[in-house]
Structure 1
């Protein structure tokens, strides 16, 4: 069982797995590894032979109502108990707890504003981790949801996450950093009119933000914001992949 109450897996649901795999391999540097069956195909994304996430196709019967996108998995010690905790805290359960035999137990849930995520418990050894900042690692977790005064207590009550610095952003409200046991790993803010959300957005680490931006365009993606400098002498961009899934990058500007 991996260390609980943190994001530990990231999954892309997409309309074209072959094109998406080629895109993220080119832009972020991930390797792709098919691990599913012909009946249930699944692809892992790996960094230095360590799995950080996966990808699967949107089922044909859901293509008309489901859009490509990323979802994060939070490790917990008891999936059924946490699904009930989500309900009691005012969230929603989109898919009741279920097993992928020999792999994990999971439930698809959402917070009080409707931002989806997954709670899961793996079956087997702890998942290895990648050193922070490594090309292809996940460098930041950003929630665009409801009011921060509502969103933070929901996640804090579930997972014990703690507040870090609160950064005022004028008319956009507060950008509330949070930690899951050490240094800040993400932030929460109210979704803006006309902007994305409710959703979690994930920042993938790259060594050179300008080179990565160029690679986005080379494979048919588009940059929607940035580059902007952020604390820690890092730069960020937000983007869409060719199938329309939103993601973000964080890295240096040599």
Structure 2
């Protein structure tokens, strides 16, 4: 676990239709579906080869009644759960689910001071044990925070998780800020546009062919909200929503056939966000940002 500390180490989809969602992502990303349910919990694993990458569970009925919607939740590995949750309160964040033992380890669901949700985990039983695998198909290769104000929220993550601003030559006025964990650049932060209803984390799944994967998104009942967008490192991205309403993104090569770029007027994000994301990730090519 030591090499995972401070990194996203596990991901879960909380959804209203777990079997359908599992079939959707298996088709789109190429994951294999494996039942990991117990008498206490219905749980599905999606694996890349033999390696578990993400888990799926039902969105609790109480949450649905309170207005919760399907979403992806990223887990960051920490060393001391009680110390970190106490620290979150001191830093202005919130504890949404207090530390508790679960099927994947000891967890807590938290929110940063601007309301973006993530989770903490110790004693993880699944996950990406080798950070060098983050650039492989089927892995989660990038993490993006859409913040209310990214310049004000970064110190929270820096103090809590030890994240650092990535040391790259970038325009000081850039609105996209890369961050690293244990010397590896793993994501970026930007101030969201008003059309994005609340601060949130967006996770990018690696695929061999973004164009083909985007066609599968549409064919299986999801929607491509934005893209394909070309980045300067020969990587393409699309931002999507699954059939149950959870946001996610894909990244990889693109065959440039069979799908047209989406119109910004069709989605809640403005065309400016496309420029922001591309400009921000321009400063660190994929091969460098994913190097351990």
Distance 1:169 1:193 in 2: 23
Match of 2:100 in 1: 98
Q: Kindly state the Cα deviation for residue 203 of structure 1 after the two structures are TM-superposed.
A: 0.3
Match of 1:214 in 2: 215
SS for the counterpart of 1:131 is helix
SS for the counterpart of 2:129 is coil
Between stretches 23-32 and 56-65, larger displacement belongs to 56-65
Match of 2:11 in 1: 10
Distance 1:58 1:114 in 2: 19
Q: Kindly state the Cα deviation for residue 32 of structure 1 after the two structures are TM-superposed.
A: 1.5
The partner residue of 2:69 within 58, 67, 70 is 67
Match of 2:53 in 1: 52
CA contact (8 A) 1:50 1:128 kept: no
Distance 1:188 1:167, change over 3 A: farther
Q: Kindly state the Cα deviation for residue 137 of structure 1 after the two structures are TM-superposed.
A: 0.5
Distance 2:52 2:194 in 1: 35
Higher strand share: 1
Distance 1:193 1:123 in 2: 36
Query: In the TM superposition, what whole-angstrom CA distance separates every residue of 1:126-176 from its partner, at most 9, and x where no partner exists?
Result: 863372322111111000112122111110111111112486698xx6100
Match of 1:199 in 2: 200
Q: What is the count of residue pairs matched by the alignment?
A: 251
Distance 1:252 1:94 in 2: 37
Distance 2:247 2:127 in 1: 29
Distance 2:87 2:12 in 1: 23
After superposition, residues 113-128 of structure 1 pair within 5 angstroms as 113-122=114-123, 128=129
Distance 1:251 1:176 in 2: 21
SS for the counterpart of 2:28 is helix
SS for the counterpart of 2:135 is coil
Match of 1:25 in 2: 26
SS for the counterpart of 2:243 is coil
Distance 2:217 2:125 in 1: 36
Higher helix share: 2
Distance 1:157 1:231, change over 3 A: farther
Match of 1:146 in 2: 148
After superposition, residues 119-198 of structure 1 pair within 5 angstroms as 119-122=120-123, 128-129=129-130, 131-164=133-166, 165=168, 174-198=175-199
CA contact (8 A) 1:175 1:189 kept: yes
Distance 1:116 1:167 in 2: 28
CA contact (8 A) 1:105 1:121 kept: yes
CA contact (8 A) 1:31 1:47 kept: yes
Match of 1:40 in 2: 41
Distance 1:124 1:190, change over 3 A: closer
User: Structure 1 regions of 5+ residues with no counterpart?
Assistant: none
Q: Kindly state the Cα deviation for residue 5 of structure 1 after the two structures are TM-superposed.
A: 0.9
SS for the counterpart of 2:216 is helix
User: Structure 2 regions of 5+ residues with no counterpart?
Assistant: 256-292
